[in-house]
Amino acid sequence: MTDINLLPPKFKRLEAIDRRLPQAWLWLGIALTSLLMIMITARVSRQNLIEQSARLSQQITDRTAAAQFDELSAQVKSLANLAEEYQQVFAKNRVWEEMFTYLEQTVPVDTAIDAVTSTADKQDYIVTITGTSADRRSIGLFRESLLTYKSQPLQPERVSQVVIESINADPATGRQQFSLKLTFDLNPKTASQ
Partner 1 sequence: MIRKRWKLGLSFTNHHLRLAVFDGRQIVSVDTAELPAAFSQLRTGDPKELGKIIASLRSKDKQIDGHRDAVISLGDEEVFTRILTLPPLSARELAAAAPHELEGDLPLKADEIYVDMYKIGQQPDGQHEYMAFAVNRQLIHWLVEGLQLSHLRPVAIETVSLSLGRLQKNNPKPYLTVDIGSDYASMAVFSDGLMRVNTSVAMHDEGWSELVNQDNPRITLEELTTKYGRLFSDLTDNIQATVRYFQNRSAGQEVLSVFLSGSGAHVSHIDTLLNKELSLPVRINQPPVPCVKTFDTSYLPAIGAALDDRH
For position 25 contacting partner 1 by CB under 8 A, the verdict is: yes
Q: Which own/partner pairs from 101-105 qualify as long-range (CB within 8 Å, at least 24 positions apart)?
A: 102/149, 103/129
For position 17 contacting partner 1 by CB under 8 A, the verdict is: no
3-class secondary structure, 120: strand
Q: Which is nearer to partner 1, 1 or 115 (CB)?
A: 1
Farthest-apart Cα atoms in the chain, separation: 152
3-class secondary structure, 38: helix
Which one of residues 24, 26, 30, 76 is an interface residue with partner 1 (CB under 8 A)? 26
Please report the DSSP string for 42-74 in residue order.
Answer: HHHHHHHHHHHHHHHHHHHT-HHHHHHHHHHHH
For position 5 contacting partner 1 by CB under 8 A, the verdict is: yes
**Span of 14-22, 32-40, 147-155, 165-173 interacting with partner 1 by CB under 8 A:** 14-22
Q: Which is nearer to partner 1, 5 or 57 (CB)?
A: 5
3-class secondary structure, 106: helix
d(CA 95, CA 152): 8
Which one of residues 4, 60, 109, 115 is an interface residue with partner 1 (CB under 8 A)? 4
Contacts of 147 (CB under 8 A, 6+ apart): 159, 162
For position 115 contacting partner 1 by CB under 8 A, the verdict is: no
Ordered alpha helix ranges (H), 61-155:
63-106, 136-147
**Span of 21-29, 67-75, 98-106, 156-164 interacting with partner 1 by CB under 8 A:** 21-29
For position 11 contacting partner 1 by CB under 8 A, the verdict is: yes
CB of 1 to partner 1, least distance (A): 5
d(CA 172, CA 97): 33
d(CA 124, CA 106): 23
For position 7 contacting partner 1 by CB under 8 A, the verdict is: yes
**Span of 19-27, 124-132, 135-143, 155-163 interacting with partner 1 by CB under 8 A:** 19-27
For position 22 contacting partner 1 by CB under 8 A, the verdict is: yes
Q: Which is nearer to partner 1, 11 or 69 (CB)?
A: 11
The residues of the shown chain that bind partner 1, judged by CB under 8 A, are: 1-8, 11, 15, 18-19, 22, 25-26
